[in-house]
Chains A and B, each alone.
Chain A
């Protein structure tokens, strides 16, 4: 867990021109270690989603760089970026974005298909508590169940980094905790580095690494020595 896995250096990003110009990232610097559970915390507009998208290779910075295992994303062309995402990343969004006419198991297989060393789909289903629902279609599931599927789809790839963008944003308290617990399990069990964007302060307590953002810069960058289990979180 010691090696520096992800490095963010002088990352800047702005939207719009002239008066409408908005600097979203204004020189961001931090590193994440392999296997860390890292939480990017901040209010709306603090640039956390933009940051996540840049790390995920689906957005580009104006300057600065993101380097993963020493490979700079900015040096990759589109094909290499796709390959990077395919081989190293798993994505979980606030909206589950499941494919409506594929059942639970198949939605997870959509992720497995991309990976050279996918996890066993059945095992993932078991971990996520979806065994009984594996032949159901997304519209037959609750929001929490759908989010589990979307986590499954991301995790099954056995990704180096699991990117989570407000994964509990649309969920209730109890379901949120369950989902967080699952992500935690995946982090423990499969060793993926987790980068989670959230505006929920309480979640920082379960993280190894908490980065607080405001107005496009890192305000706090702390390692959490006393992390607690997701199920113990309160908010």
Chain B
């Protein structure tokens, strides 16, 4: 026989449908949003990762100055280093031979001519001829007649041969000497002496042209577009919309760029002076973000575009052909370190091959370092960490509300419980019975929430990604993370919290239930109240009576305020960061150079007065905080920018001298990880198994990033760089006298703003929705809590009605005390919520890269309280209607 108590559940759901509906809606929204975020997240990553295989992403690419011969390509594919020394010697010898030959020929010519002239003069002199004109004409004649044969004779003479051989030999010796002398420098520059393990690759032609794009017909360049052929076998594209170009006047362009500039399929755009019809919106597997150059701090989906045209259309374009080649390792490396080893080894081989084939290596970029293909992935992987914390808090709130509802029910049903226990129902059976409601409601919420998560909310989350990046089409994939985080954990939370409350409540003996003796501590004598008016005293009594309910209420209100702080604080914090960001720059300009020396090996200098050298490198800091998302792909390391600061710097003040094992940390770094002066921190290289320990000398007030500072000498010695090495210049003004080719990137406040603007652009719309959802949920929460208070007092309300109190009076008796309490609590709860949120935000930040502190505008603070009060006013109105509806017989029917 099934336990007949089960049949109560659907009836209870039906009777109290509005209460449970609110709770279920609450859960559905929450679970749906969180599930959507995880499903969107996992689906997106799945699409990206499967795209990497299906669309044959490169392992790297390089650009040559001219087209490579088949022989060169096959040598590059072998991964072997070319014999550069032999090449230099051979090249030197050829040059030397040419020079020797020239010299020898010249000498021979001179000697033969001198010999003929001497012989003619001697002969004429013996004939007594002295007429110089006659002599000259005779010489010319002799030259004409016998120069060639004389030259031939001379050339064949053994003396000549010997001399020439000697000259060649000497020249070759010189070449060898010269190569040997210079070898060290050459080898050093390209690490040619290192033994490498050859990495065999397959090389693909992946030429492109860069044309100007006019997408609005105003004959002005709107963007630079990088065009590839449609028949490429590597780095292929997936189509979000439309198809690949088939005719010569058709083009497919990046979807994100098209969105940004308002181009859609069927539109006509002008590329390189030719009209093309847009037939497809695509996402190239290696351009998930439109980084024009890998050194760009931020991508630019407005001013840069990638496109695809037919091979014929490609050939008809006029811009310079970039001899770009993509390669794939025959054996794919797996770890970051392996990738680094492979690419280094391949690059060395490539340099030697391009040398010996007289080609020039213009660019080399292994895929794992390519921002265009990795930036979005890293960002997506690190995403959606904070939402789960919020989810759990909210689930805890609901579990808490449930616990209150159930404990009220238990109190209400005390005598039934007593009877059932007396009849032989075990405690476990009753616990299970009272637990079934929250579990069922959670399951319903989770089911609907998950369905929405895989559909509507997934699309919402995915749209958020599409707003930011050039991503391929994705299909919902099953997400274990979503299941665990949106169903298993909420269910566990719900079960644990309710189990705790219910077990505690049902621990009493059946007799106590029968006697309604559920309070552990006996109430002592009634408190004496001052001689106020009767209604005032009544109200005060109600207030005292409901103290346990108000305790619950304050927790509820704190949760509401916590949510308000989140809803208002997150956009505020972003805004605040965006506003403060430009001020966070060390200097108006930060020039990062390709290296500290120019091609002539001279240090790169500038005449700009305000310019100051600095060194920089990136190390990783291992987060030792165990996070909920640990192991979820966001990485356990935080990237730290290490700066080497010039002595007496105008930009950053280090108030103590650093050594190679000590440094200052930025205030953001210090706050994020709680690092204090005197601590020892360990930083390690990302791609190498090398780590450094530093003692923290102090904190530099810098909120702009996770950074650490040494003076430049300590910096150079810590990282084994030359004493005069540096990475770039801080400057107050623009630097104009450094050749562009030496500048890797220039960071100005605009670039910092680009980052925050992008963040706002991606998050902005979502934030508003989130805010509204949170406000609705807050109102729902207050509604539930206030309902509980009225329900608990239902009996007394009914009784005072019987006594003849009017609804208005009863309303003022039961609503005003709660209103006063809520108003008082709202302020207190805001303060508590604010500090809680600051802490939660910190945990949230720990899981992300970078740092910015939680911030709320004063106006938001006021609004957070006001919204709650407005919400409560509305709920009071509902409560009043509810009081009116309480029937008179409630009190009579339950008389015991």
Contacts and interface: CB of A to CB of B under 8 A. Distances in A.
Q: Tell me if B's interface is mostly helix, strand, loop or mixed.
A: helix
Interface stretch (B155-163, B417-425, B597-605, B698-706): B417-425
B415 A97 contact: yes
B416 A58 contact: no
Interface stretch (B3-11, B183-191, B443-451): B3-11
Contact of B7 (A90, A106, A157): A106
Given A58-B509, A109-B1, A85 B423 contact: yes
A118 B424 CA distance: 14
A112 interface: yes
Nearest to B896: A95
A91 B1 contact: no
Interface string B390-432: 0000000000000000000000010110111111111100000
Contacts of A154: 423
B893 A113 contact: no
Interface residues of B, number: 29
Contact of B423 (A83, A114, A118): A114
B511 interface: yes
A153 B4 contact: no
B5 A99 contact: yes
A101 B511 contact: no
Nearest to A118: B1
Nearest to A138: B893
Given A58-B422, A83-B424, A53 B511 contact: yes
B831 interface: no
A113 B1 contact: yes
B510 interface: yes
B533 interface: no
Contact of A102 (B4, B419, B425, B893): B4
A93 B414 CA distance: 14
Contact of B514 (A84, A93, A111): A93
A58 B415 contact: no
B15 A58 contact: no
Nearest to A111: B423
A101 B422 CA distance: 20
A186 to B, nearest CB: 15
Given A58-B509, A58-B510, A90 B419 contact: no
Contacts of A118: 1
B754 to A, nearest CB: 61
A85 B2 CA distance: 20
B8 A56 contact: no
A87 B423 contact: no
A66 to B, nearest CB: 15
A140 to B, nearest CB: 11
A107 B2 CA distance: 13
B424 A114 contact: yes
B12 interface: yes
Given A53-B511, A58-B510, A113-B4, A98 B416 contact: yes
15 contacts: A56-B422, A58-B509, A82-B425, A86-B423, A91-B422, A99-B8, A101-B15, A106-B7, A107-B4, A110-B5, A113-B3, A114-B425, A118-B1, A153-B423, A154-B423
Contacts of B3: 113
A69 interface: no
Contact of A101 (B1, B2, B12, B420): B12
A95 B423 contact: no
A8 interface: no
A50 B232 CA distance: 93
Contacts of A53: 511
A139 interface: yes
Q: What size tier do the contact residues of chain A reach? A: 35 or more
A89 interface: yes
A82 B416 contact: no
Interface in A89-138: 89-91, 93, 95, 97-99, 101-102, 106-107, 109-114, 118
Contacts of B896: 95
Contacts of B421: 58, 82, 85
B82 to A, nearest CB: 85
A4 interface: no
A170 B412 CA distance: 20
Among B5, B420, B422, B424, chain A packs the most CB atoms within 10 A around the CB of: B424
B4 A110 contact: yes
Contacts of A114: 423-425
Contact of A97 (B416, B424, B511): B416
A66 B131 CA distance: 166
A107 B416 CA distance: 11
A61 B115 CA distance: 148
A1 B4 CA distance: 34
B893 A139 contact: yes
Interface in B252-266: none
B416 A99 contact: yes
B424 A85 contact: yes
Contact of B4 (A56, A84, A87, A109): A109
Contacts of A109: 1, 4
Contacts of B12: 101
A59 B511 contact: yes
